[in-house]
Amino acid sequence: MTLIVDCHGHYTTAPAQHDDWRAKQVEAWKEGGKAPPYPTITDDEIRETIESNQLKLIKERGADVTIFSPRASRMAHHVGDQDVSAEWSHHCNNLIYRVTKLFPETFVGVCQLPQSPKADLKASIAELRRCVEMGFVGCNLNPDPGGGHFEHPPLTDEYWFPLYEEMCELDVPGMIHVSGSCNPAMHATGGFYLAADTVAFMQLMEGDLFARFPKLRLIIPHGGGAVPFHWGRYRGLADMLKKPALSEYIMNNVFFDTCVYHQPGIDLLADVIENKNILFGSEMVGAVRGIDPETGHYFDDTKRYVDALDITDEERHMIFEGNARRVYPRLDKLLREQGR
Amino acid sequence: MTLIVDCHGHYTTAPAQHDDWRAKQVEAWKEGGKAPPYPTITDDEIRETIESNQLKLIKERGADVTIFSPRASRMAHHVGDQDVSAEWSHHCNNLIYRVTKLFPETFVGVCQLPQSPKADLKASIAELRRCVEMGFVGCNLNPDPGGGHFEHPPLTDEYWFPLYEEMCELDVPGMIHVSGSCNPAMHATGGFYLAADTVAFMQLMEGDLFARFPKLRLIIPHGGGAVPFHWGRYRGLADMLKKPALSEYIMNNVFFDTCVYHQPGIDLLADVIENKNILFGSEMVGAVRGIDPETGHYFDDTKRYVDALDITDEERHMIFEGNARRVYPRLDKLLREQGR
């Protein structure tokens, strides 16, 4: 029996008070004032937003566990400053924590880091530690907190090392995930996300980060952006950069999810990327919410595509469960404590 | 008999004097001086660089015609100012012109535009007209002349309209192609190129450019970046943006080349993108110059992948020749004049 673990879910349906508070927080910051107190949100309100959305779809689609994090497009690290980001992240993560307590069999937490374009990573490290102590199993790491101009140091730069050290010590992976775009030339979910996934992979290829951090594990979402489609290009570029084969110096530490919304894409992903590097994910309820007229099913019902893959049961087990337990050891521990 | 037309070749092997002059030009600009006179380059020198590189490989691989433009990564629109870009483009395009005159059966010109981050498009329009009068059949259009920070207006912005008007009047298409990156977080051929391809497609999706310019034709190179791999995502995003189907409002005017360096990528491309929208291209000699150890053939020998596609001869004819004649009417005219 395989447990279906979705490694990529965001709380895109959080209660309205949460987003309202955020709007007021930003407004207050712009005016040089102080954010109002965070509103009361009842357990019932949280239950309602989950039961009528993610949980309903999880049941309909036959998944079991979702690794759940705050809404990616609203992390908006480019808005405000370090304090604004820290306060917002604190509340976002607390909301995720409450979801994981209300639905402990279904949701496992991954935190938003309070990154800020001009800040170092001290606040992010502190928030990561706080969240892991609350039972979270990973973090989302924004490679471009400036929001669409790629002005941050590459992921191989020592700027990031203190965070990586903490992630290794806590034994939690990070999902490389940008947020909303403040660039009119850069649509968030259709341009920025996939561009950033692709650029991040190439940053990792240019460096030798995992020689320094052999325990660091990074998930590149949305099927790895353009990377699997251009796998020949990347194999060839590794060769031109005089690097070892990708399988040796990148693919022990980098993983792709299955947030690719059509069968041919998932087929290619499973064809060119070793199955040990693929984690089931849907990004549901997320970027694309409609029904594909060509199939009659939701675009983001990625379980159907994985079910349809021409692979062995053992390989499918790895994609749905085994790899997630390996990449997120704290998830594995939680599941074992639950007898799963 | 199908003519094999490669829509994507750059003069990456230009004589050293050409690049030396460019270095001096930039140096002079930095010091507030005037560039030295452009050096003499003999026909034999040009012949040598072509015969031992592109022409040799074209013959070995069995292609016939290459649509040839200046080296993309050296357009470097972010370096210097409008005058520097104009002078550099002038010499780059003249060199392409000479190649097309030395090898009129094999090379057809596409020009570099003298874009510059802070300039309007007047100089680009003038240079496009000059080149088309010399027999060029299209242009390369850089959506991010700033070189890696995506600070330019989206392709749907009226900033670009005068150029589009000229392109329509001259009946020449444009290949959307960024240049080198001045962003340490953005590797040119492994990050920036594919990111820009992807972002450009999404810019076009967000707008309604082809309602205004129904004759405008744009080629997105490198197989369309991440787009075909995520075709379900884009179909779903069109739906979420309340747009018509992509086939109706984008895909009469947008084309992808086959610069995807492995068989599974080309298979997916031909599977999800209508073959009328696919143009054979290799980007040879370009970003990836090595031999794939998995196949024993050059990564960028994309003709092999297209030959191996499970499609009809008629479809293959379209990809190799028919679509190029349709998208580049001036190429078609040239070929007809040559009795081809």
Interchain contact, A199 vs B205, CB within 8 Å = no
The reply to whether B151 belongs to the active site is no
Best residue in A233, A250, A268, A301 to probe B by mutation, most B CBs within 10 Å?
A233
Which tens digit of pLDDT belongs to each residue from A11-59?
999 999 999 999 999 999 999 999 999 999 999 999 999 999 999 999 9
Number of cross-chain residue pairs from A and B with Cβ atoms under 8 Å apart: 214
Indicate the residue type of B310. Answer: D
Give CA–CA dist B82/B115, Å, rounded: 7
ipTM over 0.95? The verdict is yes
Best residue in A144, A149, A193, A198 to probe B by mutation, most B CBs within 10 Å?
A198
Digit-by-digit pLDDT tens for chain A (340 residues) are 899 999 999 999 999 999 999 999 999 999 999 999 999 999 999 999 999 999 999 999 999 999 999 999 999 999 999 999 999 999 999 999 999 999 999 999 999 999 999 999 999 999 999 999 999 999 999 999 999 999 999 999 999 999 999 999 999 999 999 999 999 999 999 999 999 999 999 999 999 999 999 999 999 999 999 999 999 999 999 999 999 999 999 999 999 999 999 999 999 999 999 999 999 999 998 889 999 999 999 999 999 999 999 999 999 999 999 999 999 999 999 999 999 9
Give CA–CA dist B118/A332, Å, rounded: 54
Sign of the C-alpha dihedral computed for residues A226, A228, A229 and A234 taken in this order: positive
pTM of the model: 0.98
Give CA–CA dist A250/B106, Å, rounded: 41
| A203: chain B residues, CB-CB within 8 Å | 185, 187, 191
Q: Are strands B254-257 and A5-11 parallel, antiparallel or unpaired?
A: unpaired
- b/e sequence A31-41, b meaning 16+ C-beta within 10 Å: eeeebeebeeb
